[in-house]
Amino acid sequence: MSEDPTPESVVENTPGEGRTPDAQPIEPSAPEEFGRVQVWWGDGKGKTTATLGMGMRAAGHGFRVHVLQFMKGGASSVEAVRGEYNAIAALPGMSYENLGHYGWHGMADGSDETEHEAEARAGLERAHELLEAAADANLDEPIDLDADPEDGVHMLILDEVLYAADRDLVSEDEVHDLLDAKPDGLELVLSGSHSEPAYLADRADLVTNVRKVKHPIDDGQRARRGTEY
């Protein structure tokens, strides 16, 4: 049998070195390299899906994750239940709250625009509370998986905050204020907006444009349970 010609340096840098990982029990842990700012925007489906998937991955390592949704609603085809809420409730170390009422700002869905504005302001205030709590916590240490987010979190996902800024429910300066309040060890994830948030280009460590190539909604497909909600 011939020798493996693969250099040792390549083998060392190969994820898993060919081994299949096994699922392990989730125990409280602390990340070693958190602290970046992520931005997820674009006209394609999958911004919330991607950020929640990342949150699930972090929770799987025993890190404390919280999701704060600024806006989440939909058309009449969307039922008043979301699969991600049920899944998060069953996952140790991950929690959520939604401060945007059912409906969508700027759409003829019967929702009250003034309420959207008030709830976006409440979302902004709540985000600052969570950032302050994280700043007071020791993010280099594990946090109980069932701890309240007021005890600190390792990852904070502000879902749809960029849509709220897009619609002038919060200002771009107020989004910058959130970044100013972020403690060093907190991974802060911002999502939403079909328009590029160029005002964050110099401050984000990761920016992902989720582009739409094709979507069945363009052919009249309504939101489907299990994929869109």
The per-residue pLDDT for range 182-218, each reduced to its tens digit, is 999 999 999 999 999 999 999 999 999 999 888 887 7
Report CA torsion sign: 203, 207, 33, 170: positive
**CA distance linking residue 15 with residue 114, whole number of Å:** 50
**CA distance linking residue 218 with residue 192, whole number of Å:** 20
- What is the CB neighbour count within 10 angstroms for residue 60? 16
CA dihedral 124, 167, 48, 108 (to 10 degrees): 120
pLDDT band at 111; cut points 50, 70, 90: very low
29-219: which CATH topology?
A: Rossmann fold (3.40.50)
Give pTM, 2 decimals.
0.86
In the chain, the amino acid numbered 206 is L
**CA distance linking residue 83 with residue 32, whole number of Å:** 31
Over residues 112-144, the pLDDT tens digits come to 556 668 888 889 999 999 999 999 999 999 999
